[in-house]
Amino acid sequence: MPVADYQTYCKMLDTAREQHFAFPAINVSSVTTANAVLKGLAQAKSDGLIQVSTGGGEFASGLDVKNMALGAITLAQHVHLLADQYDVFVALHTDHCTKSKLDGFVRPLIEETRKRRSQGLPNLFNSHMFDGSDLPLEENMEIAVPLLKDCAELEIILEVEAGVVGGEEDGVNHEGVPSEKLYTTPEDMLYVYEKLSTVENGRFMLAATFGNVHGVYKPGNVKLRPAILNEGQDAVRKAYGEKAMMDLVFHGGSGSELKDIHETLEYGVVKMNVDTDTQYAYTRPIVEHMLKNFDAVLKVEGEVGNKKFYDPRSYNKKAEEAMANRVAQAAQDLKATGKTIFKG
């Protein structure tokens, strides 16, 4: 699964929009979780995205270093090395970077790609996300437009967000925001298009909100209004024609009904972030391993335990397998199974 180049990534997104499916975009924070995504996508014969957040990058750099950009570089380099062993494409993406963290995360990663390209190497990341959803939309776009110019120069796609995804994820907390901010208006989507479409050769994705909430919820507890996406796309198409239809991103999918997910695919969603569910899938077999083998993983009452059970490989293998299966399920839910454009 080679890491997609720019032309391949664009073809991935175009194909998804035309055929009404979306790619699972999975957050990772370690070599093992990255391996799980590669395995799961290959299992599903689906292309997809591997994402690194600011918190994931910081964790990957180690407790003493705590450098979010350096950790993201480490994970991305690992994926570049391992991806060639699989027969589907993967794109590398950074997730939820707010204004205050741009200089410590996205901008250094853009410069790393600039350096790599000067050496004849491929881009480090295929796309980056700027999350300006906590800003007035005008300020959001004032930052996004020059950022997209920098990205376009290096064949990087930029993801932006208009509206607020509720709940909390990876240190970005939008709990308790007014309910009206959870829904992007057609006027907002039109404004985003008008601002970003002025960037020559720029390509972008929009995370428009329609009641999405980050976190853990029982099915049915998240009340989505997917029609909002259609209303926004209609406003853009009416003003600028069919070719102006935007690539949309679905954030906060945990607890969403499958029918709502499928409806969004009809309105231009080409990417859905999956984090909470894959975190749980990874952790559950580890907990089960510890509970079933309590006396083996701990040196209880003077005993020595059993190395075969407390060797981290013994339970991380189970965790990788379980997370890979959840990634494959995500591909199935998004109608991406078997739709890789990789030809070998």
CA distance 134 to 165: 10
Which one, of 243, 238, 237, 246, lies nearest residue 268 by Cα?
246
In the residue annotation, 103 being an active-site residue is answered as no
Q: Are 271 and 23 in contact (CB under 8 A)?
A: yes
Set 5, 64, 87, 95: catalytic member: 95
CA distance 256 to 269: 15
CA distance 222 to 211: 7
DSSP-derived secondary structure for 186-198: HHHHHHHHHHHTT
55-58: long-range contacts, CB 8 A cutoff, minimum separation 24: 55/29, 55/170, 55/171, 56/27, 56/28, 56/29, 56/95, 56/170, 57/94, 57/105
- Run of H or E including 285: helix 276-292
What is the set of active-site residues?
95
